[in-house]
Amino acid sequence: MTASGAELAGLAGLLADRTRAAFCLALLDGRAWTAGELAAHAEVAPSTASEHLHRLIDGGLLVERRQGRHRYVQLAGPETARLIEDLVGYLGPPRNRGRTLRAASASAALARGRTCYDHLAGQLGVAISDAMTARGLLNQVDGFALTEAGLAWLERELGADLAELRASRRPLVKACLDWTERRSHLAGSAGALVCRSVLERGWVKRIGSGRAVRVTPAGTAALWELLGLRL
């Protein structure tokens, strides 16, 4: 069954508001945020944030989780994250006119490396994908596919449970078009595993509270040893 015009307009309407769009962009970091954190981020009153969050949850773009007295929200899943990223990519490169030094620095940091929901994007994400391809771990012909060597590498070097990855309803590997690099980076459950591993091992750290990430000295050494990646 195809979507109707009314359904498409309803989806577009969810993002046709600066505050709701700001919430979705913030949640692209893959983490769960409280309503208060999102309100402060978008610089709106808590009551205003609550109203917008109800619309996004009812529309299926966000899901709500409660832990004790706290209420958290996050993107509904990787497909929602990809939708938001694709829309950002459609806008093209950001215009520099009238931008502050702080905004320009933040934009440059996102371009160097960021999380795209639960996988790595930007120059870092593309570089890791290319290094995996050069090592024969990833095949980029007609899309992305892990080789047998790549599966063994995930299990040996990152401690992957291959049976669990294959049993997931989510694709093992997916090519995600990078809106800053205009090339694809690794997504899917394998991409999520790589991202989670480098963050947990301290090879990559978040910059502030946003999506931008940086490679640590330990990460520089580890990525060179594992993938021959020189950063």
Segments making up each domain of the chain, as ranges: 7-76, 100-227
Question: CB-based burial of residue 178 (10 Å sphere; 0-12 exposed, 13-18 middle, 19+ buried)?
Answer: buried
User: Do residues 62 and 56 lie in contact, with contact meaning Cβ atoms separated by under 8 Å?
Assistant: yes
Each residue's pLDDT tens digit, 129-184:
999 999 999 999 888 999 999 999 999 999 999 899 888 888 999 998 888 888 89
Quickly name the fold that domain 7-76 has: Arc Repressor Mutant, subunit A (1.10.10)
Mean pLDDT of 107-124: 90
Would you place residue 97 in the very low, low, confident or very high pLDDT band (cuts 50, 70, 90)? very low
State residue 101's pLDDT score: 62
In this prediction, what percent of the chain has a pLDDT beyond 70? 93
Is the pLDDT confidence value at 61 over 80? Answer: yes
State residue 65's pLDDT score: 87
User: Do residues 165 and 193 lie in contact, with contact meaning Cβ atoms separated by under 8 Å?
Assistant: yes
Would you place residue 102 in the very low, low, confident or very high pLDDT band (cuts 50, 70, 90)? low
State residue 100's pLDDT score: 67
Confidence (pTM)? 0.77
To which H or E segment does residue 194 belong?
A: helix 188-200
To which H or E segment does residue 34 belong?
A: strand 33-34
For the record, the structure tokens of 137 come out as 């771990």
* Planar angle of CA 65, 74, 107, nearest 5 degrees: 155
Give the span between the Cα atoms of 103 and 119, in whole angstroms: 23
State residue 3's pLDDT score: 64
To which H or E segment does residue 114 belong?
A: strand 114-116
Contacts of residue 18, defined as CB under 8 A and 6 or more positions apart, other chains included, come to 42
Mean pLDDT of 41-45: 93
State residue 92's pLDDT score: 64
Each residue's pLDDT tens digit, 192-224:
999 999 999 999 999 987 789 999 999 999 999
Give the span between the Cα atoms of 128 and 7, in whole angstroms: 38
Question: CB-based burial of residue 137 (10 Å sphere; 0-12 exposed, 13-18 middle, 19+ buried)?
Answer: buried
Give the span between the Cα atoms of 13 and 58, in whole angstroms: 13
State residue 98's pLDDT score: 46
